[in-house]
A = this chain, B = another copy of it.
Amino acid sequence: MNFPMLSQFNPETGEVEGTAPKIRFLDNLKGYFLDQAAYQKALQTGNPPVYSVTSVEPAQGDGQLHYGLGRLMPGKIGREYYFTAGHLHAFRPAAEFYIGLTGEGLMLLQHEITGETLVFPLRANLVVYVPGYTAHRTVNCGTTPLSYLGVYPAQAGHDYGMIAEKNFNKVVLEINGQPVVMDRQEALKLN
């Protein structure tokens, strides 16, 4: 038992003591947002951090676990709320529990093969189960940072390729002040 076994996280700042976060800025999300013109315009006024992920990986191997602390800022590009790029697990059967901590958001889940999409709320005291073979993205529909823990098998790994290429079938837009989940193709007609 010679590896770090205790970690302390701060859901407000998104920091895990002694661990460097990976920060994703707006320009890291090129091609992901529905409204490309609004995206380009936003980048002209700055390149804010959109989200951070801090990973805690005590050990490797079968039966071991890792977790990440995610913190997604509030914001929109056009009508579309800020989101994380989203990913599949490299080890496809690997599931993940998302445990909401602060803020108000949604999770988009999309099965890799069938394309079936499910949407769940994410906030304090809610736990969302992401099964294997399922791409997942968090969306901040609130006005404060959305933070959460994600716990996953150590062998899960991350595969960003499919989403980077095809994106999610669904988008989450603010319409009349409320988050609305729409088919991407339908939403493109709004712009």
Known: A96-B65, A109-B1. A58 touches B131 (CB 8 A): yes
Using an 8 Å CB-CB cutoff, how does the interface string of A147-163 with B read, 1 for contact, 0 for none? Answer: 00101111110000000
A10 adjacent to chain B (CB < 8 Å) = yes
Residues in B neighbouring A151, C-beta threshold 8 A: 65, 67, 97, 151
Point out the residue from B5, B64, B134 that lies within 8 Å of A132, measured CB to CB.
B64
Confirm or deny: A91 has a beta carbon within 8 angstroms of a beta carbon on chain B: yes
Taking each of A6, A94, A129, which has the highest tally of chain B beta carbons within 10 Å of its own beta carbon?
A129
Q: Residue-by-residue, is A93-107 near B (CB-CB < 8 Å gives 1, otherwise 0)?
A: 111110100000000
Question: Are B121's CB and A6's CB within 8 A?
Answer: yes
* Interface flag for A86 (CB, 8 Å): no
Cα separation A154 to B152 with both chains bound (whole Å): 11
A176 within 8 A of B: no
**Given that A120-B6, A153-B153 are known contacts, is A93 also in contact with B127, CB under 8 Å in the complex?**
no
* Copies of this subunit: 2
Contacts of A149 in B (CB 8 A): 99, 127
Chain B residues, Cβ within 8 Å of A3: 131
Closest to A151 in B: B151
Q: What are some 30 contacts across the A-B interface (CB < 8 A)?
A: A1-B116, A5-B131, A6-B127, A6-B128, A7-B126, A8-B125, A8-B126, A8-B127, A9-B127, A10-B125, A11-B125, A56-B129, A58-B129, A59-B95, A59-B129, A62-B93, A63-B89, A63-B91, A63-B92, A63-B93, A64-B95, A64-B131, A64-B132, A65-B97, A65-B151, A65-B152, A67-B151, A97-B151, A99-B149, A127-B149
